């Protein structure tokens, strides 16, 4: 009998891709899932801060080609865990897109030990930050579910 179940990476990355469908910024949809001991502890997608109008309602507020209205999916997943008193120390983050340098720095300070990304969106600043950190960083290699 063969095991047709997805790998843990495939399982959690597929959840991150489902989460990104909740994104409310039409410019970029990103989903992130935080996992500890093979259990999902939090998720987040890019959208306006709690209680604020979303880009889909009032449009994007662009400064230097970045939307100022949006909290990134990675940031939201960490914030959701913090709001519920859940430690992210030693967790793994699955994110649908290569993180920006701010999200990476927040992940480092949140104690995330590993970051798995799917879609390339390289940033040379991220590479430099990673060289000085102990965060394991890798591209998702599994099959899309």
Which one is catalytic: 57, 61, 74, 114?
Answer: 74
Q: For the chain, how many helices (H) and strands (E)?
A: 5, 7
119 an active-site residue? no
Whole-angstrom CA distances from 4 to 7, 15, 39, 72, 110 are 9, 17, 20, 33, 34
Please count the other Cβ atoms lying within 10 Å of the Cβ belonging to residue 3: 6
Residues tagged active-site: 74
């Amino acid at each position: 009998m063969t095991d047709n179940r997805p790998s843990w990476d495939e399982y959690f990355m597929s959840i991150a891709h489902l989460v990104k469908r909740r994104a409310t910024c039409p410019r970029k949809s990103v989903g992130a899932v935080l996992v500890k001991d093979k259990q999902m502890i939090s998720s987040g997608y890019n959208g306006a801060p709690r209680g604020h109008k979303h880009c889909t309602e009032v449009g994007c507020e662009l400064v230097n080609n970045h939307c100022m209205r949006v909290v990134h999916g990675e940031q939201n997943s960490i914030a959701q865990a913090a709001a519920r008193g859940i430690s992210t120390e030693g967790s793994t983050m699955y994110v649908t897109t290569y993180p920006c340098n701010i999200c990476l720095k927040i992940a480092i300070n949140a104690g995330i030990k590993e970051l798995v990304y799917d879609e390339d969106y390289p940033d040379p600043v991220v590479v430099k930050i990673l060289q000085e950190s102990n965060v394991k960083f890798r591209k998702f290699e599994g099959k899309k579910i």
